[in-house]
Structure 1
């Protein structure tokens, strides 16, 4: 057993006990699209297309209570190949520091880890640009927003320590399902990161990969 597996083994036990995700247990699985707004060839190889995503609460606090807000989505290809690419983000500050939030639109979402692509180092962040009718961090508010129209995010990229610029618009159009076991869609950027994109640094990616794997195995998700 590797050190990464040993370190993250409690996640497997925790997921088995709860029969659900240890992190981000409450959320909404959504279908939508991503539309590239940056010039082609500038920065990360995001292309326009259909996505499946999830908007979630990190600790699963009840109702509208504050929590860490989560955002994940899967693209079916990038500019380099027909290879799935998962992106996971969480509410944060200063790119790498987790930060709880009181509402979905108030959060700034970050990958927390930079992405390597063709010799460059990039950061991704996003923010919800759709106002929701309900206050607080309620999953029901997201469902209501999807029932009324789209829930949109502005996605930005930065190279190294440079400024963030617009990359894409992420639009979720409908809810697929909630927290039922059959709706457990695992997103894992450590194994699905496009054709040439990698999470950095490598040692943290290995630890994160083991954590995701143990969590999936613990709750019986594929």
Structure 2
């Protein structure tokens, strides 16, 4: 057993006890699209296309109570090839510091870890630009999606440089986890595009073990067949 696996074993036990994922246990799975705004070849190789997304609560607090807000989306390819690319972001400050929020629009979502691409180091962040009342409530997300989309601005920064527009992310309907393309949890340590990688490598290895132990613990818990992918 590697050090990373040993260090993250408590996550497996925690997920088994909760009978759901340890990280961001509650969320809303969505369908939508991403539209590139930056010029082709400028920065990360994101391309326009359909996405599967998820809005989630990091600790799973009930109702509209404050929590760590999560935003994830999966793209089926990038500019370099047909390799799926999962992006996970969470409410933060100063790019790397987790920050609980009281509402979805109040969150500035960050990848927390930089992305390496063709010799450059990049950061991604997102911001909801659709007004959404109801605190940090998943029901508020569901109610809104029933009649209108949610739109996010996606920005990139190279190194310590300033952020610039990269794309618009639009989530337009709630979906079930048995729809095509929704059969695997989001995991950027496994799916990070063709030539994109999470940095630094040692932290990526630790994070991969953490996600794996969370999934295995959840699947081993009682009643795990129900809602395992959400």
TM-score tier, shorter chain, comes to: over 0.9
1:166 matched to 2:127? The reply is no
**Could you list the runs of 4 or more consecutive aligned residues of structure 1 that deviate by over 3 angstroms after TM superposition?**
none
Give the CA deviation at 1:201: 0.3
1:125 aligns with 125
1:116 aligns with 116
Q: Provide the C-alpha distance between the structure 1 equivalents of 2:49 and 2:109, rounded to a whole number of angstroms.
A: 21
SS in 1 for 2:9: helix
1:32 matched to 2:47? The reply is no
SS in 1 for 2:186: coil
Cα distance, 1:130–1:185 mapped onto 2, change above 3 Å: farther
Scaled by the length of structure 1, what TM-score is found?
A: 0.95
SS in 1 for 2:171: strand
Q: Provide the C-alpha distance between the structure 2 equivalents of 1:51 and 1:128, rounded to a whole number of angstroms.
A: 16
Describe the superposition over 1:84-117 as per-residue Cα deviations: whole angstroms up to 9, x where unpaired.
0000000000000000001000100000000000
2:136 aligns with 137
Counterpart mapping for 1:70-219 below 5 A: 70-132=70-132, 134-177=133-176, 185-219=184-218
Q: Provide the C-alpha distance between the structure 2 equivalents of 1:145 and 1:76, rounded to a whole number of angstroms.
A: 26
Q: Provide the C-alpha distance between the structure 1 equivalents of 2:184 and 2:15, rounded to a whole number of angstroms.
A: 15
2:50 aligns with 50
Give the CA deviation at 1:185: 4.4
Cα distance, 1:27–1:185 mapped onto 2, change above 3 Å: farther
Q: Provide the C-alpha distance between the structure 2 equivalents of 1:27 and 1:185, rounded to a whole number of angstroms.
A: 15
Cα distance, 1:184–1:97 mapped onto 2, change above 3 Å: farther
SS in 1 for 2:175: strand
Structure 1 gaps of 5+ residues are none
SS in 2 for 1:148: coil
2:223 aligns with none
Tell me the C-alpha RMSD between the 2 structures: 1.3
Scaled by the length of structure 2, what TM-score is found?
A: 0.92
Q: Provide the C-alpha distance between the structure 2 equivalents of 1:173 and 1:17, rounded to a whole number of angstroms.
A: 33
Q: Provide the C-alpha distance between the structure 1 equivalents of 2:184 and 2:98, rounded to a whole number of angstroms.
A: 23
Cα distance, 1:127–1:22 mapped onto 2, change above 3 Å: same
Instruction: Give the stretch that moved more between structures: 74-83 or 14-23.
Output: 14-23
1:69 aligns with 69
Structure 2 gaps of 5+ residues are 220-227
Instruction: Give the stretch that moved more between structures: 15-24 or 184-193.
Output: 184-193
